[in-house]
A and B are shown apart, each in its own frame.
Chain A
Amino acid sequence: DTAVSQTPKYLVTQMGNDKSIKCEQNLGHDTMYWYKQDSKKFLKIMFSYNNKELIINETVPNRFSPKSPDKAHLNLHINSLELGDSAVYFCASSRGGASNQPQHFGDGTRLSIL
């Protein structure tokens, strides 16, 4: 059973297009996250949601819009894709917002902008 699943695993698209990445977790967690991993493998938090409410938005361009229809889902929609958006995007979840809870990650979505 996959705990945190993201779709698609790979996404290749043209500059200027709009795309979405879906994330679902079946762990019963109430906090979910999006991270971006750049070409140098650096991981940076983008958004976190707790019980469907936005907690943080780390200076991410407003072309990125997360949406949480329920606690188990956190989708990421990206408008007007740019070359610099090429990266691996990870979804993660954890139990509550406590700092002692480890985060469980999806397998990542590699986004390539042509």
Chain B
Amino acid sequence: AQTVTQSQPEMSVQEAETVTLSCTYDTSENNYYLFWYKQPPSRQMILVIRQEAYKQQNATENRFSVNFQKAAKSFSLKISDSQLGDTAMYFCAFPGAGGGADGLTFGKGTHLIIQP
């Protein structure tokens, strides 16, 4: 079974700092995708970034980037120049064994607090 582990239940940093959220996963698949979702207090689930496992280059989206280590099955999210609006729950997610139609397996989330 696929598992996703986020080992940091909560993190707090000052505005403008850089923060890294960790995620490890377990799978027997070779080609797959990984996702980070953000859930602000408004409860919406917002896609932050995705990574294709067969691409060596780490994905980036503006201030958000990943450090993907396939051999170590690690998929961390780096947020640069953090802003107050980044305060949210962040979830690492992985498609099920049957592909996307099986739904996503989520980690337990990291509550990120950006302090002014």
Contacts and interface: CB of A to CB of B under 8 A. Distances in A.
Contacts of B52: 100
Nearest to A55: B101
| Among B39, B45, B111, residue most surrounded by chain A Cβ atoms (within 10 Å) | B45
B91 A56 contact: no
Interface in A94-110: 94, 96-105, 107-108, 110
17 contacts: A35-B103, A41-B89, A44-B106, A45-B96, A48-B101, A55-B102, A96-B101, A97-B99, A97-B101, A98-B99, A99-B99, A99-B100, A102-B47, A103-B47, A105-B37, A105-B44, A108-B45
Nearest to A9: B43
Residue among B91, B100, B109 facing the most chain A CB atoms (10 A cut-off): B100
Contact of A41 (B33, B104, B108): B108
Given A55-B101, A104-B47, A105-B44, 19 more contacts: A41-B89, A41-B109, A41-B111, A43-B109, A44-B106, A45-B96, A45-B103, A48-B103, A55-B98, A96-B100, A97-B100, A97-B102, A98-B100, A99-B99, A100-B33, A102-B35, A102-B47, A103-B47, A105-B45
Minimum-distance CB pairs A-B, first 6: A97-B101, A45-B103, A105-B45, A99-B95, A99-B99, A43-B106
Nearest to A43: B106
Contacts of A99: 32-33, 95, 99-100
Interface bracket on B: 20 to 34
A50 B42 CA distance: 29
Interface in A23-52: 31, 33, 35, 40-45, 48, 50
B43 A88 contact: yes
A74 to B, nearest CB: 12
Given A41-B89, A55-B101, A102-B50, A90 B45 contact: yes
Contacts of A97: 98-102
